[in-house]
Each structure stands twice: as structure tokens, then as C-alpha cells.
Chains A and B, each alone.
Chain A
């Protein structure tokens, strides 16, 4: 493929990596934005999901929220938030990405607590555990695989959509692709477009693979294998 060859040539040039605004700069920005977005998403999604799951209600609300955010274009939030008091720069981008990180975190946390065998919960209560003890000593450890799966889905999604921050000049690796389209195909931007595309795609796959390992490590051995990851249905958690 001619274009992949051009992309490879572009990636082979060390200056494209080390220049100001080059790949390394953009990669740093990309990871920084993604990190804060996921952190913010966890800070919002997990407590709510765990609390709702502990209480055993709000399942319909979780599904509604997850489905509604599916309908909101990322681009809309990315362009609207800078015009609010958040101002321009990284904060609106981080908030926009966090909004899309919340549904998988919330839904998986909720599912994780609801899938626990009711008999386990009854036994814990029968042993005299209070609500807080039940949550800390029984429910949370048993839902770790689901929490990890939610984190993985959310993180991969954030890293993927962080590329769109370039639409509003928010930094990140998308800037490389966007600048490539700006140069135009006829002026040799093709190599940069494809090169940027390859880097973004590889980054997303790396994050996915890395978090898959993390997910496996934090899952207690007896729970491995019995657990089915629910990625596309993250929007429709089992109620």
C-alpha cells in the first residue's frame, strides 16, 4: 500500500517525533488528558454505581443514563464546554471525556455489586456484618473483576476519543492527524495522516492489552473464567 509506505516513512523521521508539537509532545498531552479524564470519571462513576448497587436500586436510571450518553456526539460536548465558564484549554476536554467515561464505570460497578449471589449477602448479614462491613468485606472484593472491566472499557474509550480533542485545538495525538489533513493530500500530508492514524490506533490497542493484563492480575484466581466481560452491553447492564 502506497499510503502505508508514506506513513512509515513519516514515522521513520526522528524529527517528526522530537519536534515541538511532534509525536512525543502530543503523546504526553494525550496521556495526561486521558489520565485526568479517567480519574474524574472514576471519582464520579464508581461511588454512585457502588452505592446504587449496594442499595439494589436505580438500575433503570443507570441504563437510561448509559443509553442517553450514547446518543450525545463527543464533538458536541467538546465544542460546547469551552464556551461555558470552564473556558478554553484542557479542562473542558477533560470534562467532556470524563462524561463519556462515566457510563461504563457506573454500569459495571452497578452490575458488579448486583451479580453477587444473594445467598452470600444473606450469609454475611447472618454473621452479623453491618451494611458498611458487608460492602467493604464482601461486596467490593467480589465485584473487583467488574470494576476492573469497567475501568478497562472506560480507559480505552477515553484514549480513543481523546484524539477528537484536536477538533477544538485541545491537544493530543489527534492534532497530528488534523494537521495532516490541514496540509492536504496533494501537498504530502498523506504520510502524516496515516502515520498519526497508526500511532493513535497502536496506542489504543496497547492500552487495551495492558489493562487486560491488569484486569487479570486483580481478579482472584477462583473468579477467573467464570466472568464474562460485557463491552457492547456496557450501555445495557443486566438489570
Chain B
């Protein structure tokens, strides 16, 4: 076991032995020699995550508003997204991939969107339902219509819930993208699985995994920052 050893790093990973000093957990040489691939996989990963979360958000927000306005729709909408959430990601991929083709990343994208949907809908709905009744009454008294009230009053007040949903959905989507490596469209997951299949090349596996976790944490922090900028009043109230 050579944890974090920088000893002889194999530039020829096919020849890397499964254990011993020739197969370190981390190798700068690997990172250096494969910088191009790392960057392109990272870009692929970010691209898939961003597209999935944005599409899921565009679908989820109207659903949450519909569930909020029409009480009889709340149950079915939550139940349907709950069922979609329960279906394992791999099964979803298996059901979607043959229909849209296994050579494009569309199937991965569809699976990711369906998965992020529940978290976004639930949190947005939770944010909307906790808008105080007096505030809604006051808005109605000031002459706001249904859409005006939604746009100017309810959605801004629901922002903390919506942002929580976005953060949870983003972090879990980043982790979930790796499942796409089954069809070679998994972003950093391709590195993880590639390293495993490449005679258990540890440096490649760990680099992929660390980049993946780091990406999730960075995106989470960015979204947390955006949330604070969008809702300056929550800071004032807490102080």
C-alpha cells in the first residue's frame, strides 16, 4: 500500500500492476500527462449537470405552481415524481437508452432530469406553501392579481426553498452523472470506470472521484452564494 506516494508513476498505465508502488493512489504525473482528457471530461460533466438541472428546473417550477394553485393536483404530481425518483437510475437509463440511441448523451440527460425533478418540485412547493396567509391577503388587498401575486410576492418569498431544492438537485446530479459511464457518456465517471477497467489504475479512479466531489462542493457553494445575493432579507432577519 502506498498511499499518496509520488514514487515511480507509470506513464504507461496498461502495464500498471494491480498493487505495490507502481500503482499509487495519486500521481501528479498522471494528472500532468492527461490534463487534456481531464479537462474535457470535466467540461462534459459540467455540461451534462447544467443542462439536466436547468431543464429539470424549467419543468419543475410550473409543476410546483400548478400543485400550489390547484390543491387536487398536489397529490398526483408528488406521487408521480416520487415514482420516477424511486426507479433506479440504471433502470431508467436502460429503459430510455434503447429508445433514443446509446451513442448520444440524450438518454443520460433524460434520466438525470427525471431524477432531479422530485427534489425540485418538493422544495419549490414547500417554499410556496409556507408563504404566510396574511402576506397573501395583504397582496390581494393591494390589488395584485393571481400572476402578479405569484411573480412579485410568492415566488420571491419561496426563493429559499427553491434554492435549497436547486442545491440538493445539483449536488446529487453531479454524483449521478457518473452512472452514464455505462454507455461511455458519464463525464468524470468515464475516468473512474476507465481506471477500474484499466487494470485497476488507482490514480485515474481517484482523480476522477476527487474531481467529481470537488465539482459538487464548488457548485453547491456557488449556488449558496447566489441564493444569498437573491434573498438579502433573510440575512437581515437572522441578524
Contacts and interface: CB of A to CB of B under 8 A. Distances in A.
Which among B89, B95, B179, B196 has the highest number of chain A CB atoms within 10 Å?
Answer: B95
A204 B175 contact: no
B86 A72 contact: no
A205 B83 contact: yes
B91 A200 contact: yes
B90 A83 contact: no
A79 B98 CA distance: 26
A181 B182 contact: yes
B113 interface: no
B208 interface: yes
Contacts of A1: 99
A73 interface: yes
A178 B182 contact: yes
Contacts of A180: 94
Contact of B206 (A6, A80, A156, A190): A80
A178 B93 CA distance: 11
B86 A204 contact: yes
Interface stretch (B29-37, B137-145, B213-221, B226-234): B213-221
Interface in A222-236: 231-233, 235-236
B212 interface: yes
B118 interface: yes
B122 interface: yes
Main secondary structure of the interface of A (DSSP, over half): helix
Contacts of B99: 1, 3
B180 to A, nearest CB: 10
B48 interface: no
Contacts of B67: none
A232 B212 contact: no
B92 interface: yes
B94 A76 contact: no
A71 B175 contact: yes
Interface stretch (A105-113, A129-137, A191-199): A191-199
Given A1-B99, A156-B86, A163-B91, A79 B183 contact: no
Contacts of B91: 160, 163, 177, 196-198, 200-201, 204
Given A3-B99, A193-B98, A67 B171 contact: yes
A172 B1 CA distance: 30
B22 to A, nearest CB: 13
A208 interface: yes
Interface string B193-222: 101100010100110110011001100100
A161 B92 CA distance: 12
B95 A73 contact: no
A201 B178 contact: no
Interface of B: 1, 18, 82-83, 85-95, 97-99, 102, 118-119, 122-123, 164-165, 168, 171-172, 174-179, 181-183, 186, 189, 192-193, 195-196, 200, 202, 205-206, 208-209, 212-213, 216-217, 220
Given A79-B205, A174-B90, 4 more contacts: A73-B212, A83-B200, A167-B193, A178-B182
In the complex, the 4 A-B pairs of residues with the closest C-beta atoms, listed nearest first:
A197-B94, A76-B209, A160-B88, A71-B216
14 contacts: A71-B213, A71-B216, A71-B217, A73-B175, A76-B205, A79-B195, A160-B88, A163-B88, A163-B90, A177-B90, A197-B93, A204-B87, A231-B122, A236-B168
